[in-house]
Amino acid sequence: MTAEGSPAGSPAIRFDGTSVVYPNGVKGLDAVDLEVPRGELVVVVGLSGAGKSTLLRAVNGLVRITGGDVVVDGRSVRASHGAGLRDLRASVGMIFQDYRLVRRLSVLQNVLVGRVARVPTWRQLAGLWPKEDVALALDSLDRVGLADRAYVKAGQLSGGQQQRVGIARALAQKPAVILADEPVASLDPVTSRQVMDDLQRINRDLGITTLVNLHFLDLAKEYAERIIGLSQGRVVFDGAGAGVTADDFAEIYGRHPTAEDVLEAQVAL
Amino acid sequence: MNSIVNGMVNGRPVPPSRVRGRVLAAVALLLLAGLTAWSAAGIGVTLEVFLNASRIGRLVEESFPPAWNFWPRLVKPLLETVQIAILGTLFGGIAALPLAVLAARTVSPSRPLYWLSRNVMNVLRTMPDLFWAMLFASAVGFGPFAGSLALTVFTVAVVSKLTSESAESIDLKLTEAVRASGGNWLETVWFSVLPQVLPQYVSYVLYAFELNVRASTVLGLVGAGGIGMVLNTQRTTFQYARVTMIVLFIFAVVLAIEQLSAAARRRLV
Ligand SMILES: Nc1ncnc2c1ncn2[C@@H]1O[C@H](COP(=O)(O)OP(=O)(O)O)[C@@H](O)[C@H]1O
Ligand SMILES: [Mg+2]
């Protein structure tokens, strides 16, 4: 499982003076310039409302970019429409805080949703998924350790398992990029680590460029090769994950970290 | 001495005055009485008609006991009534689903399609089933086929309206997850909208079936075949004991079907 069609050399994602102004006038992103090289695992931190989700959603065009552009795998998001945009989205997997699985469908059917852009619609409606796609979906489930749950209803799994199904769905896309928007915010500390471990292993094994929004600072430091700090839609910090100090966080958050900003403090509760 | 503070007398709440309520009730009663008198005068109902009980008494006398031994001749017509209802429900139920999706504001693929399907839905609903029965009778001739076509339209009207309302209240986050994987409109509907509305849709179709069994009986009175037609023949030839038997038979079967269908619906939602 390697990324489909990645022109070598260019960065996986390039934000080019990207701005997002929502229809109600709120600025989500303010002229962001950023390059994410292939295979990097970047963690985005920032207060609630800083623009983390907007940054991720600009990459697959779920929000309308109103200034500048985002270039994914050499393709302009802003210039992509219709079939072109769907094709671009197919090369970008997304993982959500609330998993977003079809609870009444089986785990396998949920993972196959990752193949919608690559399989003819009539085959999907008829339930006639090609053998290779089913094999790929099972493979993806295997990567998150859930192959034995393939035929269970998604709604019957625990939160952590559902999130790993979400990861498998993204993997089934054979993506060049994975976006994870607060993937562990609904999970307990132990499960959070398991899910982050999965994301890290996939990033390392398959070389998929990964952008993760995280709230907890210690988790960010532990898993990030590189940390990007956002505040009011602007990049206010960009540095190696390991070297981040409390002062750096104070810079990003506009205050010093408290117990609420670290995962381990919750274990103590 | 009474101390009045915040509508309390000596620390106890004062009951609200009941004068207003009584005046309103009197006005409402007068209004109802007036409406009754006006309507009765309009359609020529007088006290005399009510007092003319001898005809009613004779009718009751002739209607009892029911012609029990008439039942074997009712089985086939009643089956036909149910078959008319089944066909109408199936055809209508199938046609209602795409119409409902197009007419759901948050799901519909385009404004013009939304507007068009909404209006189609409203026109279908405004016309009574008898009107459709007459219309199809002119087109394909009086009989069971015209009856099931009329019920098809009736079912589309009922089921599409209810289902489109359900589709408007689904969780659109799931829809976004399918779009993020590169899904087109149909794939998005298939994997996020339909799984969410399916239980309610099936329950609406069952509900329409209950209505259709009753409506199918009535359509028989105007020549659509089935038990209604037998009822009409016996009535016009003054076979009141048989009429009673038919009514009892219809009552039992309609009740049984309703109970079964309602039980199935309870299990669904
Ligand atoms: N759909 C939207 N419409 C209007 N404003 C929005 C919308 N989504 C987000 N915003 C606003 O944009 C800003 C950035 O939001 P977001 O990217 O969700 O931040 P974060 O993910 O860091 O919490 C916030 O002020 C938020 O209120
Ligand atoms: Mg967010």
| Three-class SS of B168-197 | HCCCHHHHHHHHHCCCCHHHHHHHHHHHHH
- Tell me: do B87 and B209 sit in the same domain: yes
* B146 and B240 in a common domain: yes
Q: Which residues of A touch B183 (CB under 8 A)?
A: 86, 113, 116-117
Residues B53 and B74 in one domain: no
At residue B72, the pLDDT reads 83
Structure ipTM = 0.91
| Ligand that comes closest to the CA of residue A29 | 1
pLDDT-based confidence at residue A1 (cuts at 50, 70, 90): very low
Residues with Cβ within 8 Å of A9's Cβ and at least 6 positions away in sequence, in order, are none
DSSP string for residues in A121-149: HHHHHHT---HHHHHHHHHHHHHTT-GGG
Confidence at A245, pLDDT banded by 50, 70, 90: confident
Who wins on pLDDT, B105 or B48?
B105
Look up residue B172 and give its two tokens. Answer: 């659109």
Torsion of CA A165, A167, A173, A179, to 10 degrees: 150
Is the same domain home to B82 and B198? yes
A50 lines ligand 1 (CB under 6 A): yes
- Give the single-character DSSP code of B70: G
Question: Three-state DSSP class for A187?
Answer: coil
Overall domain count for chain B:
2
Examine the domain organization and report whether B42 and B148 are in the same domain: no
Host domain of residue B124: 70-268
Closest-lying ligand to the alpha carbon of A44?
A: 1
Task: Categorize the per-residue pLDDT at B269 as very low, low, confident or very high, splitting at 50, 70 and 90.
Answer: low
Name the burial class of residue B239, with classes exposed (0-12), middle (13-18) and buried (19+) by CB atoms within 10 angstroms of its CB. middle
- C-alpha A86/C-alpha A77 separation (Å) is 11
Query: What is the structure's pLDDT at B3?
Result: 57
- Kindly state whether residues B17 and B131 are assigned to the same domain: no
For A35-70, the pLDDT digits (tens) are: 999 999 999 999 899 999 999 999 999 999 999 999
Percentage of chain A beyond pLDDT 90 is: 79
Mean pLDDT, chain B, integer: 87
| A113 → closest Cβ in B178, B186, B198 | B178
B176/A113 Cβ within 8 A: no
B45 and B82 part of one domain: no
User: Nearest bound ligand to CA A185?
Assistant: 2
Q: What is the mean pLDDT of residues B70-97?
A: 90
Nearest chain A residue to B199 by CA distance is A104
Question: A117–B173: do the CB atoms touch at under 8 Å?
Answer: no
pLDDT-derived band at A267, boundaries 50, 70, 90: very low
B184/A121 Cβ within 8 A: yes
Mean pLDDT of A94-120: 96
**Does B85 share its domain with B204?**
yes
- pLDDT score, position A248: 81
Residues within 8 A of A (CB atoms), B 178-197 only: 178-184, 186-187, 190-192, 195
Q: For residue B107, what are its two tokens?
A: 């799901």
My answer on whether B109 and B223 are in the same domain is yes
pLDDT value of position A252: 83
* A244: CB partners within 8 A, 6+ apart: A217, A220, A221, A227, A237
The reply to whether A92 touches chain B by the CB within 8 Å rule is yes
Q: How confident is the model at residue B53 (pLDDT cuts 50, 70, 90)?
A: low
Of A171, A170, A178, A169, nearest to A108 by C-alpha is A169
Instruction: Express each pLDDT in A133-168 by its tens digit.
Output: 999 999 999 999 999 999 999 999 999 999 999 999
Single residue among B19, B42, B61 that ends a domain in this structure: B61
pLDDT for A102 beyond 60: yes
Q: Which of A173, A84, A121, A120 is nearest to B181 (CA)?
A: A173
- In B, minimum Cα distance to A103 occurs at B195
| Interchain CB distance below 8 Å, A62 and B179 | yes
Lowest-confidence pick of A8-22, A250-264, B119-133, B152-166: A250-264
The mean pLDDT value for B241-253 works out to 86
In this model, does residue B1 exceed pLDDT 60?
Answer: no
Q: In chain A, whose CA is at the least distance from the CA of B176? A: A62
d(CA A124, CA A129): 6
CB A198 within 8 A of CB A167: yes
B69-83 residues labelled b (16+ CB within 10 A) or e (exposed)? ebeeebeebbebbbb
From the list B176, B186, B191, the residue facing A62 with the nearest CB is: B176
Picking from A220, A182, A236, A206, the residue whose alpha carbon sits closest to that of residue A54 is A182
The answer, for A122 touching chain B at a CB cutoff of 8 Å, is: no
Residue type, A37: P
User: If you write DSSP's letter for every residue of B130-161 in order, what string do you get?
Assistant: HHHHHHHHHHH-SSHHHHHHHHHHHHHHHHHH
Task: Examine the fold and report which residue of B34, B61, B88 is the final residue of a domain before the chain moves on.
Answer: B61
Higher-scoring residue by pLDDT: B166, B266? B166
Q: How much is the mean pLDDT over chain A? A: 91
CATH of the domain at B183: 1.10.3720.10
B101 contacts on A by Cβ (under 8 Å) = none
> A188 vs chain B: nearest CA distance in angstroms?
23
* Mean pLDDT comparison of A12-26, A212-226, B229-243, highest-scoring range: A12-26
- The one-letter amino acid code at A113 reads V
pLDDT grade, residue B146 (50/70/90)? confident
B226 and B193 inside one domain:
yes
Residue in the block written with tokens 């393939």: A150
**Using 50, 70 and 90 to split pLDDT, how confident is the model at B2?**
low
> Confidence band (pLDDT; 50, 70, 90) for B4?
low
**Residues B48 and B123 placed together within one structural domain of the fold:** no
- Helix (H) or strand (E) holding A105, with range, is none
Instruction: State yes or no: pLDDT of B254 exceeds 70.
Output: yes
Distance from CA of B94 to the nearest CA of A (A): 15
Cβ contact (<8 Å) for A87 and B192? no
To the nearest 10 degrees (0 to 180), the angle between helices B194-219 and B129-140 is: 70
Q: What are the distances in angstroms from CA A69 to CA A17, A18, A80, A138? A: 7, 5, 11, 36
Q: Is A97 in the pocket of ligand 1 (CB under 6 A)?
A: no
Residue A120, preceding peptide bond in cis (omega within 30° of 0): no
> DSSP character for A98?
T
| pTM of the predicted structure, to 2 decimals | 0.83
Residues B111 and B205 in one domain: yes
Give me the residue spans of the domains in chain A.
96-174
The secondary structure element, H or E, covering residue B88 is helix B75-102
Q: Count CA atoms closer than 13 A to B1's CA, side-chain side.
A: 2
Measured in Å, residue A54 CA sits from the centre of ligand 2 at: 7
Q: How far apart are CA A162 and CA A101, in angstroms?
A: 7
Question: CB B171: neighbour CB atoms within 10 A?
Answer: 12
Tell me which chain B residues have a C-beta less than 8 angstroms from the C-beta of A89.
179-182
Residue that wins the pLDDT comparison between B60 and A84: A84
